[in-house]
Chains A and B, each alone.
Chain A
């Protein structure tokens, strides 16, 4: 039996056990929140979601109060609005005035709330924390406790989603401080660098270290894709600026993983832009015409390559260093010509079974289909395999 209640004069039906917040969101009534996140347990820490409920003394936190029959809720009562504004003033009184250069500018719940409630930067400068910025040597997670709003989302994310129990609050009152383990460094406190705590942080207190100063929400474009590492198939958003991947962010609606990612998926993207990438086709000199090599190297379209430490570089003495096995950095036309002529000749003289092909678990389905077609239709063999077994 659904429960019927009234929110802002509107009749709302909700299942027993739902909270006022959920019932309101279901019908599109927005109640501001800070510590609440739909994936995590509700702790009622920030009180930003307070609402007035008829016949009840004081304000109720919508994220923790269950609905009851006949309840009459006002989310915009004067009391509630004034309380939220007061809470925001309190938060700002111990928060740096940093939005200009803050990494999460434009993607920050505190900033949005302060905007919505028109809270002015407090003139009075009382006691403010001056925690060291980025005090943890781990390479992935940036910490700025001065911006922490003590909402405990990171604590719950690590505890409830990641099940690592790294974060907690230590000390009391004004001294309350977010700590890893027994006030240790993250990597000494059982952290597996999954970045979930960063993903759930509503402000700029936790951020992805690799993405500092590389572009903020308003200046990046986000492209939803599927991870290139393991077979779990996590989805996430590649954040791109100026043709570079600058960050990976969770996609809350990802079908397999939701907000969760592992250290490789979230922080292992920079190989894409590594200087070791091969950027031009390479062909050993013995498969090319010597005269052509000389000409093309002279006119600068080709290059005599030297591979050192797995990186392709120009060879020191250029043309003079060429032996049959030297790699020449050529162009697509030349390289594909060499391959197609060689393949055609071998096929003609020895038949399809002189070929063996290794497909790739890194390629897309479409590419693997075409590679299979290439093997079976064009070359005429079934000798195609890949590393599924390995």
Chain B
């Protein structure tokens, strides 16, 4: 997030939520949005193909078809420019390529936009007016924007809109991706990505390569590594021989599960380190029992880049150990076996950490955005949001104040491109996927939290009454959903939360995981699969029929 939860909920005049079912996925932010709307009078616009909890609080619900976000955003920008509502001062001082944007959005008249998105033209006009009148405004998005083959372009469009309105670098504004898992931000910040070292330093940048070679005392690989999806493919093709998986369950969370299964079967040696025996553990050669968040010390970084303490409350069960211990132990053994021989002169060659603070010290040295984040400061109550470039720096609650990190903000105009797979005769419906408040991700934790499980014990498929009637599917009855890749059987929930032609389900349940159906088509840059749209057909099932 460029901004913080606090300034968004306290200072924005308008909150624009697109592609985020905030109430179910980031519940406490959802609570705060409702509060801003009801008790402070902020405007709320929600763009979502489904009727979700927030839409009942919204001033305006833009119910666009899945996969038409760019068209919708371009349509809004068209009206803003047509009416001359853009922030000229901001555009001329802080941005470039505005003319390109103007040219591209020219053709997205409310009528054209309406045709692509299904949103009435008058709602597009109205939304543009609210956005223009109520500044500063914050834009919030989540996987509904990124999980598309055009995910990166979607994100650019969000940024275009906010720059056009001058909503960047100010309290109550910004482009604010809500990050999913508790420490997905931290995992990215710490180099858990194939193309960057900790702190987003590129692995292809010779200066950075030298920096890490000097720090760790070894030559480093000069090539960008593989992404999750590429790893599985490489394993299948015999290039990757060993997979080491910590706390992830690709057998539920990756697209096209039938294919994932095949890849895992082909892999020679798999190590899985987790709390539970997961669907992925079935394919493991070695399983290492890990400690939970309540059994270890450390820090997590939240969606607004805030680094916070995690503290041990109980002992891990049996022989389970914190991941930190396990990784360190393995590294030491590998070095002892001569698998690598780090130069003893390098300052961070070794693995002999006596205290957690020594790991943080090393992070301070090597990750510039964490340079000033120390345990001492956190314990003293400092509120630190990165970048924190040195130990006296107060942290950065709002990014891009006065200047973008790249200098001028560039309008990257983009055109609407339809999703990779659209309904056709054979697969006439569109499936979109998401989450519910009671479950989390593959459900490894929430299926074992007894009352969360009691609240939502099985997969449901939302289907519009019209489609249900057409296919003879009754509320609560079993139905089959099939795509080109696989099929699942789950209970139907007949509801107008989805429009005719659209069905919705979650990926929380391994038995009926949506990802047997989803399309692994990737965004070419971000390599994110298109979870939000694929084509399916449905039929009713008699109980006991065809379940395998």
Give A contacts to B, CB under 8 Å. Answer: 139-140, 160-163, 192-194, 210, 223-235, 238, 240, 243-245, 255-257, 260-265, 267-274, 276-284, 287, 307, 310-312, 327, 331-332, 335-344, 346-348, 350, 352-390
Contact = CB atoms under 8 A, between A and B. Distances in A.
Interface stretch (B290-298, B419-427, B538-546): B290-298
A271 B445 contact: yes
Nearest to A244: B314
Given A261-B28, A361-B183, A366-B324, 5 more contacts: A336-B333, A358-B246, A388-B187, A390-B228, A390-B528
B141 to A, nearest CB: 13
B187 A163 contact: no
Nearest to B184: A361
B183 A336 contact: no
A233 B306 contact: yes
Interface stretch (B83-91, B218-226, B398-406): B218-226
B438 A263 contact: yes
Contacts of A192: 23, 27, 437
Contact of B324 (A245, A340, A367, A376): A367
A343 B334 contact: yes
B211 to A, nearest CB: 12
Interface in B303-342: 303-304, 306-315, 317-324, 326-331, 333-335, 337-340, 342
A243 to B, nearest CB: 5
A225 B311 contact: yes
Contact of A362 (B247, B318, B359, B451): B247
Interface residues of B, number: 155
Nearest to B446: A268
A256 B218 CA distance: 41
A276 B276 contact: yes
Contacts of A369: 190-191, 198, 359, 362-363, 367
Interface in B422-446: 437-438, 440-441, 445-446
A127 to B, nearest CB: 36
A389 B313 contact: no
Contact of A389 (B6, B191, B441, B528): B528
Contacts of B455: 139, 193, 263
A249 B437 CA distance: 19
B477 interface: no
B298 A365 contact: yes
A225 B302 CA distance: 13
Interface string B190-230: 11111101100001000000001000111111011111100
Contacts of A193: 455
Interface stretch (B63-71, B162-170, B174-182): B174-182
B448 interface: yes
B359 to A, nearest CB: 4
A160 B184 contact: no
A335 B190 contact: no
A248 B281 CA distance: 30
A382 B269 contact: no
Interface stretch (B122-130, B232-240, B490-498): B232-240
Main secondary structure of the interface of A (DSSP, over half): mixed
B449 interface: yes
Given A233-B304, A344-B338, A386-B192, A264 B451 contact: no
A362 B147 CA distance: 20
B442 to A, nearest CB: 9
Given A223-B312, A364-B298, A356 B339 contact: no
Contact of A264 (B223, B284, B293, B452): B452
Contact of B286 (A272, A335, A365, A377): A335
B193 A384 contact: yes
A368 B191 contact: yes
B448 A274 contact: yes
Contact of B28 (A160, A256, A332, A336): A256
Contacts of A382: 194-195, 203, 220-221, 223-225
Interface stretch (B32-40, B106-114, B478-486): B32-40
A357 B188 contact: no
**Chain B CB within 10 Å — which of A224, A225, A358 has the most?**
A358
Nearest to B203: A382
B315 A370 contact: no
B374 interface: no
B351 to A, nearest CB: 8
Nearest to B234: A356
B227 to A, nearest CB: 5
A232 B27 contact: yes
A226 B294 CA distance: 9
B382 to A, nearest CB: 10
B299 interface: yes
Contacts of B459: none
A372 B190 contact: yes
Given A372-B197, A384-B193, A365 B330 contact: no
A340 B333 contact: yes
B204 to A, nearest CB: 9
A236 B359 CA distance: 25
B540 to A, nearest CB: 28
A366 B356 contact: yes
Contacts of B28: 232, 234, 256-257, 260-262, 265
A279 B321 CA distance: 9
B531 to A, nearest CB: 7
A365 B216 contact: no
A376 B191 contact: yes
B510 to A, nearest CB: 9
Contact of A364 (B183, B437, B528): B183
B57 to A, nearest CB: 8
Interface stretch (B95-103, B131-139, B248-256, B464-472): B248-256
A282 to B, nearest CB: 4
Contacts of B234: 356
A273 B276 CA distance: 11
